[in-house]
Structure 1
Amino acid sequence: MSQGDFQAQNPYASFGHIAADAPAADRLAFIKRTYIHLALAVYALVVLEFIYFSIFGAAMNDLMPKLLSPVWYLLMFGGFIVSGWVARSWADSTTSVGKQYAGLAVGVLGWSVMLAPLLWIANHYVTPIGTQTYSPIAVAGLITFLVFGALTAAVFLTRVDFSFLAPILAIATAVAFGLILASFIFQGLTSGMWFSAALVVLASGYILYDTSNVLHHYRTTQHVAAALALFSSVALLFWYILRIVIAVSGRR
C-alpha cells in the first residue's frame, strides 16, 4: 500500500505519531509545546479575571448576586457544559489548526465565566495562616500548583499509563454531575466539605490520566488538545480547593 493510500484510509496518519512511539526529539518537542500552551491558557484565564474584576468591578458587584441565584446559576452551568463540549470538539480537530486554537480559547473563556462568581465570593474572605492573613485565591492557587506539580512529577518519573482510570473517572464524573444538578433542587447537597474533597480527588485523577495521555496516547501534533485537557483538570482542581479554603476562612 502506498503512503497516499494509507493516509486516505486513515485520516489520523498525517496527524503526527503517537508520542510514545515518536522519536525522542519529537516527543520532547510535543511535551514542551503542551505545557507552554497550558501555561498560556492559565495566564489568559488570569488576565480575563483581572479584566472582569478590575475594569468591570462595579458592574460585577451588581451582577454577581443575581448570577448566584439558582435559576441563573443553572443557566450558566448549562452554558458552561455546552462550551466545554464545543471546546473539546474543536481542539481535537485533525483538519484545522485554527479550529484547535479556537477550541482552547472557548475552553478558557468558559472557565473564566464559571470561576468568576466563586472568585467574587472568595474576595469577601481572608485565610489565616499563623499570624498573617492571605487571600483565599492566592492560597488555593499555591496549593493547586503544588498538587499539580506533584501529580505531574509522579507520572513523568514512574511512566505509568493511567489510561485504566478512564471508566472510573467517567462513572465518578457522572455521579458528581448528577449531584450537582440535584443540588439546584435540594439546596446544600454539594456544598459540604466532603463533596469538595471528593471532587479534589476526582480532579487529581484526571490530572494523572491527562498527563499519562501526554506521554502515551496523544499524537505529537495534538498539543492544543492535550493542553486543553490539562487546563480543564487544573481549573477543576483549583475550583474545589478554593471552595475548601473559603470554608476554613473568615469573612473580611
Structure 2
Amino acid sequence: MKTSMSSSATYSQSSAIETNKVLRNTYALLSLTLLFSAIVAGGSLLLQLPHPGIIISLVGFLGLFFLTAKLSNSIWGLPSVFALTGFMGYTLGPIVGHYLSMPGGGAIVMNAMGMTGIIFLALSAYVLTTKKNFSFMGGFLMVGMILGIVAGLAAFFFQIPALSLAVSAMFVLLMSGFILYETSNILHGGEINYIMATVSLYLSIYNLFTSLLHLLGFLGSDE
C-alpha cells in the first residue's frame, strides 16, 4: 500500500515537473517567435512589400504548418516554426501598413496591439491561477473555426463588408476561447510538445490581433 502511494506521488511530481517544463519552453519560444515575426513584419512594412494574396498566403501557411507539425519532434522543428512565424510576419506587414495609412492609423494599430496583449495575458493568467480545465471547449471551438473560415471566404470573394465585420468579431471571441483552451491543454498534460503548443498560441495571437485591427479600423473610419 505504501509502495503504491509512493509510486503515485512520484508519478504526480514527475508529471508536474514535465508540465512546468513544457510551459516554460512554450512561453520562451512564443516570445522569440513573436519578436521574430514583428521584426519581419517591420521589414516588410519598411520595404513596402505587397501582400502575397489570399491564395499564396493559405498555401504558404498550410505548407509551413504541416512541415512544422511533421518536424515538431526533431531539432528541425525549431527552424521550421521560425519559418512559419516569419512568413506570417511578412503577410502582416502590408496589413499593418494599410491601417497606418488611415487617419489615426497609428492609434488603431497601437490599440489593437495593446488589447491583444491584455487579452492574452489576462486569459493565460486566469487559467494558470485557477487551473481550470477548458478541454470541453474543443469541439465548440473547432466548429466555430470552420464556420468562421467559410464565412470569411464568402465575405472576401463576394465583398460583403458587414459579413466581414461580423467574422472579425466572431474571431475575437474564438481566439480568446482558443487561448483558454490551449493554455489549459498544456497545463493539464494534453499538449506535451512545446513547438506545437507555441504554434497554437502564436496563431491565436496573430488572428486576435488582425481581427481587432479590422474592428478598430472600421470604428475609426469615416464610412
Q: CA RMSD in A?
A: 2.5
1:28-47 deviation per Cα after TM superposition (whole angstroms, max 9, x unaligned): 23311110111111100111
Q: Is 1:240 the equivalent of 2:217? A: no
Q: How does 1:14-29 map to 2 (within 5 A)?
A: 22-29=14-21
The alpha carbon displacement at 1:170 in A equals 1.1
Residues 181 and 164 (structure 1), Cα distance of their counterparts in 2 relative to 1, 3 Å cut: same
* Letter of the 1:45 counterpart: S
Task: Write the letter of the residue equivalent to 2:191.
Answer: Y
Q: 1:188 to 1:149 in 2, by over 3 A?
A: same
Matched pairs, number: 211
Which residue of structure 1 aligns with residue 93 of structure 2?
116
Decide which structure has greater helix share: 2
Matched, 1:42 2:46: no
> What is aligned with 2:111?
139
1:97 pairs with 2:75 = yes
C-alpha distance in structure 2 between counterparts of 1:195 and 1:101, whole Å: 32
Q: Tell me how far apart the structure 2 counterparts of residues 211 and 237 of structure 1 sit (CA, whole Å).
A: 15
What TM-score, normalized by structure 1, do the two folds share? 0.74
Distance 1:190 1:211, change over 3 A: farther
Q: Answer with 189-198 or 151-160: which moved more.
A: 189-198
Any idea what SS the aligned residue of 2:157 has?
Answer: coil
Distance 1:247 1:77, change over 3 A: same
Matched to 1:76, the amino acid is I
Question: Equivalents in 1 of 2:93, 2:59: separation in Å?
Answer: 14
Q: Distance in 2 between matches of 1:78 and 1:52?
A: 18
**C-alpha distance in 1, partners of 2:59/2:163?**
21
Q: Deviations over 1:2-26 (max 9, x none)?
A: xxxxxxxxxxxxxxxxx98735444
TM-superposed CA distance for 1:80, in Å, is: 4.2
Task: Return the letter of the residue paired with 2:209.
Answer: F
Name 1:31's counterpart in structure 2.
Answer: 23
Percent sequence identity over aligned pairs? 22
Distance 1:103 1:90, change over 3 A: farther
Separation in 1, partners of 2:181, 2:45 = 33
Distance 1:115 1:198 in 2: 20
- Structure 2 gaps of 5+ residues are 1-10
- Cα deviations by residue, 1:201-227 (Å, 9 ceiling, x for unpaired): 0111111111111101122xx222211
**Alpha-carbon separation, structure 2, partners of 1:85 and 1:224:** 11
Which deviates more, 78-87 or 210-219? 78-87
CA distance in 1, matches of 2:64, 2:103: 31
Structure-1 residue corresponding to 2:191? 218
SS at match of 2:159: coil
For 1:16, the equivalent position in structure 2 comes to none
CA gap 1:25/1:85 in 2 versus in 1, 3 angstroms? closer
Q: Residue 101 of structure 1 aligns to which amino acid in structure 2?
A: L
